[in-house]
Structure formats: structure tokens, C-alpha cells
Amino acid sequence: MMKKFLISKTRRLRSTPFTSRLEKYGVGGYTVYNHMLLPTFFESVESEYEHLKNHVQLWDVTVQRQIEVSGKDSYKLIQLMTCRDLSEAKINKCYYVPLIDKDGNMVNDPLVLKIDENKWRICIADSDVLFFAKGIAGSFNLDVKIFETNIATLAIQGPKSEEVMKKVFGINISKLKFFSYDYFKFNGVNHMISKSGFSKQGGYEIYIEDINSGLELYDQLMKEGKDLNIKPGCPNAIERIEGALLSYGNDMDNNDNPFECGFDKYICLDNGIDYLGKKALQNIKKKGIEKKLMGVKIDLDEINLIKEENLLDANDNIIGFLRSAAFSPKFQKVVGIAMIKSKYCNVAQVFKVKINEKVASGEICNLPIL
């Protein structure tokens, strides 16, 4: 059993405007994400997994920091950072983009929003994209302004999320399409809302600039969702792994390229757009990849994964590396995401893994884990 430690709050480890609300509702644990506090559970990860799939939850995901890029070279900078072609990007749309460096390796996998022709917003995962963007802008002498906003983000997730949102923002919220955003008023204050979120259960993300309005909004969402069994929640490890919602820093990092992460459809190699690492990705495509993210199922009834673990074949050869894992009530065993060496990327390939001095057997499966 891993020893548990308290997290000491300091200026370097930032709380969010909603931290007091979370603690009022009994948050059970935090992790650190983008130098901020991210809840990990309230009652238990397992019970919240079942609740998320059947009801509705309100998440504080302010840790999903917002980097704003503006100026006449803003598109050029955004495009230099990603292998996805954004030349036809539209206002009011959201784009999932792999950010890569000059070697073609992953830097982040944010959501990018085009606000207007000279303004973009990057909703980042857990890495310091602000400095990456500033470094590129300086190297290419681009006319841009780059800063981290003070935007706080709430997510409404679950199959009943639309019902709650209609009560608070009106029936027009139903017209919002997946991976699109628009502006909706709450008590006279405009809030940007996208139909998106870090779950497979459907929902919305609310980008809050007026914090006082945001606190009122949090309370109103909890009030209006009471008859729909709304609960405070957070991104759920089990649901995320089963649904193959990849987590930068867990499932992938700067040692992995987007082909290895399964992002092929977001990689543009052939047209005239220019970005860091394009030549590197062309070479990787030509040579082929040596490893790939896959799903795994492991014959364990619990797991507490705090570091990458080796997956071994019958002859103790390393076939891959376990990167995320959680016990799944659906499968009644541990499910996970692992980086597997290419020659072992076969569904039903068996392996063994040593966790906390216990050796368990498992098998490789596709992502998402169905």
C-alpha cells in the first residue's frame, strides 16, 4: 500500500476559484495539473464512474489553462506548433490538435479555438505550452501577443447534462453542435460554452471570465440539477481509460510521436502548410513506427499505478510499458493504456506484469476498450 501524503497549498500550487465549493462538497483527493489542484475523487472513483455514465456531474477543470494568441501572425504561430492542418479553421469551432516539436515528438494535445481571424485560444493539457509558444514566436520573429488568461472552466458531463444546461441557459443550448462553441447569457453575463469535455458521456465546457458570475453559476447548476441527481465530479480515470481519452504526461509524453499515439488523422504531410517537425514526421512515416498505444486488460482486482511498469512475455522480454490503469467495474479486472512495441501489437497477445510485488497476467486489446 502506497503511503498517502497531504498536499500543501502555496502560491506555486494554485487553487481555483471553485476550490472552496469542492471542499464544501467533500473532495477526497487532489492531483497537480498545470501547477493547479485537480480533484481526483469525491466518494470513490468506482462509484463516480457509474454515476457519470447514468446521470450528470459538475467538474471544476480550471486546470485546463487557456493560452491566448493574438496578432497578425497568430495563425502562423498556431500552425507552426501543430501537424494538423488548420488553414481552413472556422470561428465557433473547436479543434483537437497534437502539438509537436522539431523532432516530431508530442508537446501537448490541446483543444484549439479560433476566436477571430487574429485571435486563437489553446486549452492545454499538462505541460508548459506558454513557454513553448513564446520560444517559437521569438525564434521566427512573429508579431503576436501570447499570455495565459485568467479564465476558469467548468464542465457539465453525463447523459443528463443537456437537461441541466437548458434549465440554466435556455433551450437554444440544444442547438450547439459537438466540438462547436457559442456565447450564452447567465444573469446578464455572457459565457463562452463549447459542446466538448474529457468524457465519452457527452457534455459542455463553460469558459468563465467573470469569476463572480462563475461562482453564482456553479451554485445555480447544482441547484437546477438536483432533481437530475447532479453531483460534483472530476475526470474519471476508469471512464477515460475505457474510452481511450489520452492523457498527456500519463499515456504519452515528449518521447512519443503522434503516429505512435494513434493521431494519424490529425497529421498533414503532403500539402503546403509548414510546421515544426514536418520533415521528422515524413521520415517516421517512411520508416514506420516502433511502438504504439494499445489497450490492455489485466487479471487484478485493484491497482495503484504511480510509475510506468514493464510488460513482459513468457521469456521475460519487455514487450511494452503500462502507462495508465484502473480497476473496471464493467470488465471486473484492471484496464489500462500501454505503449507496446510494434511486433507485439496483436490483439490477445498475452503478457505478465509485476505490480507491488505481485505478478499478474494480462492481454493486449484495441482502444477504446469495449
b vs e for 134-153, b when ≥16 Cβ sit within 10 Å of the residue's Cβ?
bebbeeeebebebeeeebbb
Residue 354 has pLDDT above 80, yes or no: yes
Report the pLDDT value the prediction gives residue 250, as an integer from 0 to 100: 96
Query: Architecture of domain 66-144 in CATH?
Result: 2-Layer Sandwich (3.30)
Residue 2 has pLDDT above 60, yes or no: no
6-25 pLDDT tens trace: 777 788 888 899 999 999 99
Query: Architecture of domain 290-370 in CATH?
Result: Beta Barrel (2.40)
Q: Which residue, 353, 366, 368, is CA-closest to 299?
A: 353
pLDDT band for position 357 (cuts 50, 70, 90)? confident
Q: Which residues pair with 203 in a beta bridge?
A: 157
CA angle 345, 350, 355 (to 5 degrees): 105
224-272 pLDDT tens trace: 999 999 999 999 999 999 999 999 999 999 999 999 999 999 999 988 8
Report how far residue 262's alpha carbon sits from residue 240's, in angstroms, rounded to the nearest whole number. Answer: 16
User: Which is more confident, 9 or 211?
Assistant: 211
Report the pLDDT value the prediction gives residue 322, as an integer from 0 to 100: 98
What H or E segment, with its residue span, contains residue 68? Answer: strand 66-70
> Which fold does the domain 19-64+151-241 belong to in CATH?
Gyrase A; domain 2 (3.30.1360)
Residue 1 has pLDDT above 90, yes or no: no
Report the pLDDT value the prediction gives residue 312, as an integer from 0 to 100: 98
Q: Please provide the distance, in angstroms rounded to a whole number, between the alpha carbons at the two ends of the chain.
A: 30
Instruction: Say yes or no: do domains 19-64+151-241 and 66-144 share a fold.
Output: no
Distances (CA, A) of 17 to 177, 204, 219: 28, 19, 13
Domain extent listing, the chain: 19-64+151-241, 66-144, 290-370
Q: Is residue 182 within 8 Å of 125, Cβ to Cβ?
A: no
Report how far residue 297's alpha carbon sits from residue 52's, in angstroms, rounded to the nearest whole number. Answer: 22
CB-based contacts of 200, cutoff 8 Å, min separation 6:
239, 242, 243, 245, 368
Q: Greatest CA separation found in the chain?
A: 66
Report the pLDDT value the prediction gives residue 7, as an integer from 0 to 100: 77
- For the segment 362-369, the average pLDDT, to the nearest whole number, is 98
Report the pLDDT value the prediction gives residue 94, as an integer from 0 to 100: 98
274-331 pLDDT tens trace: 999 999 999 999 999 999 999 999 999 999 998 999 999 999 999 999 999 999 999 9
Residue 127 has pLDDT above 90, yes or no: no
The share of the chain scoring above pLDDT 70, in percent, equals 99
Report the pLDDT value the prediction gives residue 3, as an integer from 0 to 100: 63
Residue 5 has pLDDT above 80, yes or no: no
Q: Is residue 25 within 8 Å of 232, Cβ to Cβ?
A: yes
- For the segment 25-43, the average pLDDT, to the nearest whole number, is 94
41-100 pLDDT tens trace: 999 999 999 999 999 999 999 999 999 999 999 999 999 999 999 999 999 999 999 999
Report the pLDDT value the prediction gives residue 13, as an integer from 0 to 100: 86
CB-based contacts of 39, cutoff 8 Å, min separation 6:
22, 27, 28, 29, 30, 59, 60, 232, 233, 234
Report the pLDDT value the prediction gives residue 173, as an integer from 0 to 100: 98
Report the pLDDT value the prediction gives residue 356, as an integer from 0 to 100: 81
SS3 132: helix
Report the pLDDT value the prediction gives residue 271, as an integer from 0 to 100: 84
Specify the pTM.
Answer: 0.95
pLDDT band for position 349 (cuts 50, 70, 90)? very high
Report the pLDDT value the prediction gives residue 277, as an integer from 0 to 100: 97
Report how far residue 72's alpha carbon sits from residue 145's, in angstroms, rounded to the nearest whole number. Answer: 9
